[in-house]
């Protein structure tokens, strides 16, 4: 009888440890997913705010890459471009002196599903679908807004 109770106790403890481990892993995955979404939103917003110059930020559909934010630089970086896009469940940036190229792209962060959409000349919508939640952020291009409000 004592041996049977020890075996039952061991089985129950093993099940509890296994279930606790699975729960902890799910919590960590959810936390990492939310952190990645925050990083992606912050990265895109920072890039737009850093380069907010009239006519230098556009959103275009680049076939295999979908809607892509294109930032053209001036000054010492004249002729260089940053392409920001979602592909293969990740956010990528390509810094190039020509067209968008997968080989020159750098993965910024893993994102399950991201979309970029141009709302109008001064507003870009970023949508991330993570863990059954949809996060939306609107990034405004101030120079675009000022240009349009003066007309």
Reduced DSSP (H G I as helix, E B as strand, rest coil) percent helix, strand, coil of the chain, to 5:
45, 35, 20
CA gap 68, 8 in Å, rounded: 58
pLDDT at res. 144: 54
Residue 120: predicted pLDDT:
85
| 23/87 Cα distance (integer angstroms) | 30
Structure tokens at 132: 């059954």
Question: Each residue's pLDDT tens digit in the chain (151 positions)?
Answer: 889 999 999 999 999 999 999 999 999 988 888 888 889 999 998 998 888 887 888 888 888 888 899 998 888 888 899 999 999 889 999 998 888 888 889 999 998 888 898 888 788 889 888 766 788 888 888 765 444 444 4
Total-model pTM? 0.77
> Tokens in use for 22?
């699975």
Lateral strand order in the sheet of 133-140: 113-120, 123-130, 133-140
Residue 99: DSSP 8-state: S
């Amino acid at each position: 009888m004592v041996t049977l109770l020890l075996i039952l106790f061991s089985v129950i403890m093993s099940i509890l440890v296994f279930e606790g481990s699975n729960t902890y892993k799910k919590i960590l995955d959810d936390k990492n997913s939310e952190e990645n979404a925050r990083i992606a939103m912050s990265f895109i917003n920072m890039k737009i705010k850093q380069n907010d110059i009239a006519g230098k930020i556009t959103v275009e559909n680049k076939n295999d890459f979908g809607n892509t934010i294109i930032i053209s630089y001036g000054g010492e970086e004249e002729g260089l471009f940053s392409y920001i896009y979602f592909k293969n469940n990740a956010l990528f940036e390509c810094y190039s002196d020509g067209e968008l190229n997968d080989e020159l792209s750098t993965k910024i962060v893993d994102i399950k599903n991201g979309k970029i959409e141009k709302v109008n000349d001064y507003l870009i919508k970023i949508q991330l679908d993570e863990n059954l939640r949809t996060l939306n952020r609107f990034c405004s291009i101030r120079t675009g807004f000022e240009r349009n409000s003066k007309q």
